[in-house]
Amino acid sequence: MYTFSDIADILQVVPEQAPHNPLIEQLLTDSRKLVVPESTLFFTIHSVGRSANPFVETLYEQGVRAFVVDESYNGFSRCTDASFIVVRDVVDALQKLAKRHRVRFSLPVIGITGSNGKTVVKEWLYHLLNHTYQIVKSPKSYNSQIGVPLSIWQINNQHTLGIFEAGISQTQEMERLNAMIRPSIGVITSIGEAHASGFKNVEEKIEEKLSLFEGATALIYGSNDPVLKRKVGEYARKQPGMKILSWGSSEDNTVCVLETITHGATTSIHCRYKKALLHFNIPFADVASVSNALTCITVLLYLNVPESMIREHLHHLPVVEMRLEMKEGIQHCSVINDSYISDLTSLSIALDFLEQQHQHPRRTVFLSDIYQLRKDKDTTYRYVSALLNKKKIDRLIAIGEDLMQRRDWFAKIPETHFFPDTESFLLAYPQFTFQHETILLKGARVFGFERIMSLLETKTHDAVFEINLSALRNNLRFYQNHLRNTKLMVMVKAFSYGTGSFEIANILQHAKVDYLAVAYPDEGVELRQAGVRLPIMVMNTEEAGFANMVKYNLEPEIYSFRIATAWIRYLEARNITGFPVHLKLDTGMHRLGFEWNDITNVCMLLRESPQIKVQSVFSHLVGSENPSLDTFTKHQAELFNKMCDEIAVVAGNAFLRHLGNSAAITRHPDLRYDMVRLGIGLYGMDSVPEVAARLQEVGTLKTTISQIRVVKAGDTVGYNRAGRMTKDSTIATIRIGYADGYPRMLGNGNGQVWINGKKAPVVGNVCMDMTMVDVSGIDAREGDTVILFGPQYSVQEVASRAGTIPYEILTGISQRIKRVYYHD
Ligand SMILES: *Cc1c(COP(=O)(O)O)cnc(C)c1O
pLDDT tens-digit readout, 278-288: 999 998 877 88
Which amino acid would we find at residue 36?
Answer: V
Give residue 321's pLDDT. 67
Nearest-atom index, ligand 1, CA of 624? 7
Q: Out of 476, 487, 491, 523, give the residue to mutate to test ligand 1, the one with the largest number of ligand atoms within 8 Å of its CB.
A: 491
d(CA 576, CA 550): 9
| pLDDT tens column, 320-329 | 766 788 988 9
Give residue 197's pLDDT. 52
Q: Are strands 415-419 and 395-399 parallel, antiparallel or unpaired?
A: parallel
For 312-436, list the strands marked E by DSSP.
Answer: 324-328, 334-338, 362-368, 395-399, 415-419
d(CA 492, CA 511): 15
Indicate if 719 belongs to the active site.
Answer: yes
Give residue 33's pLDDT. 84
Q: Which of 155-159, 336-340, 809-813 has the lowest mean pLDDT?
A: 336-340
Contact 620, 589 (CB under 8 A): yes
Nearest-atom index, ligand 1, CA of 677? 10
In DSSP terms, which residues pair with 3 in a beta bridge?
23
Contact 683, 479 (CB under 8 A): no
- Residue minimizing CA distance to atom 12 of ligand 1: 620
Catalytic choice (137, 209, 493, 584): 493
Nearest-atom index, ligand 1, CA of 807? 8
**How far, in Å, from the CA of 214 to the mean position of ligand 1?**
50
Of 253, 190, 181, 243, whose CA–CA distance to 211 is shortest?
181
- Residue minimizing CA distance to atom 13 of ligand 1: 620
| pLDDT tens column, 216-238 | 999 999 998 899 999 999 999 99
pLDDT band of residue 339 (cuts 50, 70, 90) is: low
| pLDDT tens column, 286-311 | 788 899 999 999 999 999 999 999 99
> What does the pLDDT average to over 755-778?
94
Give residue 442's pLDDT. 93
In sequence order, which residues have a C-beta less than 8 Å from that of residue 7 and are 6 or more positions away?
A: 24, 41, 68, 85, 97
What count of Cα atoms within 13 Å lies in the side-chain half-sphere of residue 752?
A: 16
Q: Out of 590, 629, 661, 796, give the residue to mutate to test ligand 1, the one with the largest number of ligand atoms within 8 Å of its CB.
A: 661
Nearest-atom index, ligand 1, CA of 681? 9
| Phi, then psi, of 720 in degrees rounded to 5 | 60, 15
Please check the confidence at residue 196 and state whether its pLDDT lies above 80.
Answer: no
Which amino acid would we find at residue 237?
Answer: R
**How far, in Å, from the CA of 466 to the mean position of ligand 1?**
23
Q: Exposure string (b/e) for 632-649, b if CB count within 10 Å is 16 or more?
A: bbeebbebbeebbebbbe
| pLDDT tens column, 610-662 | 999 999 999 999 999 999 999 999 999 999 999 999 999 999 899 999 999 99
| pLDDT tens column, 658-711 | 999 999 999 999 999 999 999 999 999 998 888 888 899 999 999 999 999 999
Which strand ranges, in their side-by-side order, compose the sheet holding 26-28? 26-28, 40-43, 66-70, 83-87
Please check the confidence at residue 367 and state whether its pLDDT lies above 60.
Answer: yes
> What does the pLDDT average to over 391-404?
94
- Residue minimizing CA distance to atom 10 of ligand 1: 661
> What does the pLDDT average to over 484-488?
90
- Residue minimizing CA distance to atom 6 of ligand 1: 679
SS3 at position 474: helix
Nearest-atom index, ligand 1, CA of 620? 13
**How far, in Å, from the CA of 654 to the mean position of ligand 1?**
24
Contact 232, 222 (CB under 8 A): no
| pLDDT tens column, 143-181 | 889 999 999 999 999 999 999 999 887 778 899 999 999
- DSSP per residue, 253-307: SSEEEEEEEEETTEEEEEEEETTEEEEEEES--SHHHHHHHHHHHHHHHHTT--H
d(CA 786, CA 753): 7
Contact 111, 181 (CB under 8 A): yes
**How far, in Å, from the CA of 360 to the mean position of ligand 1?**
30
Query: What is the average pLDDT value for the chain, to the nearest integer?
Result: 92
Of 98, 142, 107, whose CA–CA distance to 7 is shortest?
98
> What does the pLDDT average to over 99-113?
96
* Helix (H), strand (E) counts: the chain: 27, 39
Nearest-atom index, ligand 1, CA of 493? 1
Please check the confidence at residue 493 and state whether its pLDDT lies above 60.
Answer: yes
Query: What is the phi-psi region of residue 117: left when phi exceeds 0, alpha when psi lies from -120 to 50, beta otherwise?
Result: left
Give residue 194's pLDDT. 47
- For the chain, what percent of residues have pLDDT higher than 70? 97
| pLDDT tens column, 410-431 | 999 999 999 999 999 999 998 9
SS3 at position 491: strand
Q: Out of 482, 504, 677, give the residue to mutate to test ligand 1, the one with the largest number of ligand atoms within 8 Å of its CB.
A: 677
Residues with CB under 6 A from ligand 1: 491, 620, 661-663, 677-681
Please check the confidence at residue 497 and state whether its pLDDT lies above 70.
Answer: yes
Give residue 341's pLDDT. 63
Indicate if 520 belongs to the active site.
Answer: no
Give residue 724's pLDDT. 94
